[in-house]
Structure 1
Amino acid sequence: MNTSGPYRIEMVCTGNICRSVMAQIVLDTQLRSAGTQGVIVSSSGISDEEHGNPIDRRAAKALRQAGYPTPLHRAHQLDANTFASSDLVLAMTSTHFARLEQLAREAGLEAYPGASGPGRVDLRMFRSFDPNLAVSPAERGEGDPFADAEPEGDAQWLRRRELDVPDPWYGTAADFDQTMQTVEEICPHIVSYVRKVTNQ
C-alpha cells in the first residue's frame, strides 16, 4: 500500500488491452468529473503477451462511442513494485484475483478486501462494487475480513467467478459494448468509495 502521496488504483486484466484499460479510462474520467483530487488510476495485465501493444481497436471504439478519450496506451504486465505501491487493486476475473493473491504472497504483502496500512493492499474483484449483486460484507471490505469472510476452497472460487467481467476479446463489437456498459455501471460506486476513503 502507498503510505504517502496520491491514492493509487490499479485495474488488472489479462493482457491490458481491453477490460483493464477501459475501466482505467472510465474511472479516471468519472473521478475527475466528481472533482476528486489526489487519485491516480492505472492499469496492467497479469500476462506479458500483449506487452507494448495499444488498446484493442474495438475497445477504443466502444470508449469513443460512449464519449470517453482514448489516450496513448501501451500494454504492460503488473510488477511487484506497482502492486506494492497501490492502495486499491481491482481484478476483472477470479483467475486474475488468484494470480494477484499469489503475487502478493511472493512479494510479502497482505492483500484482501478492505486491507489498509503498510504492507497491505486492498484487493477486490471489480464487480464487487456492483450494488445489484449479492456481495458479502467481507467482499466489500467491511467488518473483520477473517470472521465469516468468504466461502473457502471451491465454493470461494465459484463465488468469485460470479463476479467475473467476461473477456470481450474473443467476441464481437456487441461484447465490447456490454463490457463498456458493465464498467460504466460500476465505476460510479468505486468513485463513491474512493471519495469516502480519501475524505473527499
Structure 2
Amino acid sequence: MKPQQILFVCLGNICRSPMAEYVFRHHVKQAGLGGTISVASAGTSGWHDGENMHKGTQKALAAHGINHSGFTSSKVKPDDHRRFDFIIAMDDNNLAELERLFGRQPEKIFKLTDLIPESGYNHVPDPWYTGDFEETFRLVDVGSVALLDKLAG
C-alpha cells in the first residue's frame, strides 16, 4: 500500500472529526499500517482552534479503549487539498465548504457516509446537537473500516 494522508473534517473539530481521526488511527494501527497511513482532522469554522476535543468524544473513545491524548483542534488550511490524499467530510455542509475551498473533487473529497450507504445515513450526526456520542462512534467506526478497505483495495 502506498503512503496515504487522510484528513477528517467537521464543523468545529471537537466532536465528529477528532472521533474519526482517533478511531481510524486505531484501525490503522490494528492493521499494522501505521507507517503507511497518517491521519489528522480539522474543522471548517475554526471556532474551537486550540481546544481539546469535546468531553463526550473523549468519553466515547475511552469507552472503546481508544487513547484520545494529544489532540488540539484546528481549522482547515488553504493547502490541505495538496497535503492530503483524501479529505473526508462528516456532512453536506462540511462537504460544500470543502468544495468551495478546493473545488469539486469527488474522488478525493467526499462524505464518510458515502462509504457506508447501507448505514441508512447520508451524514454523520453531530453529537454536539444530538447528544448521542455512541451513535456517532458507531457510524465513524463502520466508516473507518470501509475507508481502510477502500485504501487497501
Deviations 1:57-89 (A, max 9, x none): 111001000111112211110011123211001
Aligned ranges 1:8-47 → 2 under 5 Å: 8-36=5-33, 37-47=35-45
Q: What's the offset of the Cα at 1:133?
A: 5.1
Instruction: Tell me, yes or no, if structure 1 residue 163 matches structure 2 residue 106.
Output: no
SS in 2 for 1:8: strand
Q: What is the alpha-carbon root mean square deviation over aligned residues?
A: 1.6
Taking the aligned partners of 1:170 and 1:125, their CA distance within structure 2 comes to 19
Amino acid at match of 2:144: C
Unaligned segments of structure 1, at least 5 residues: 106-110, 115-121, 135-161
Amino acid at match of 1:112: Q
Bigger mean CA deviation after superposition, 22-31 or 81-90: 81-90
Amino acid at match of 2:106: P
Instruction: Tell me, yes or no, if structure 1 residue 188 matches structure 2 residue 148.
Output: no
Unaligned segments of structure 2, at least 5 residues: none
SS in 1 for 2:87: strand
Bigger radius of gyration, 1 or 2? 1
Taking the aligned partners of 1:165 and 1:84, their CA distance within structure 2 comes to 25
- Larger helix proportion, structure 1 or 2? 2
Answer 1 or 2: higher relative contact order, Cα 8 Å, separation at least 6.
2
Q: 1:125 aligns with which of 75, 99, 111?
A: 111
Q: What's the offset of the Cα at 1:30?
A: 0.3
Taking the aligned partners of 2:112 and 2:62, their CA distance within structure 1 comes to 22
Instruction: Tell me, yes or no, if structure 1 residue 113 matches structure 2 residue 106.
Output: yes
Taking the aligned partners of 2:97 and 2:80, their CA distance within structure 1 comes to 15
Amino acid at match of 2:48: E
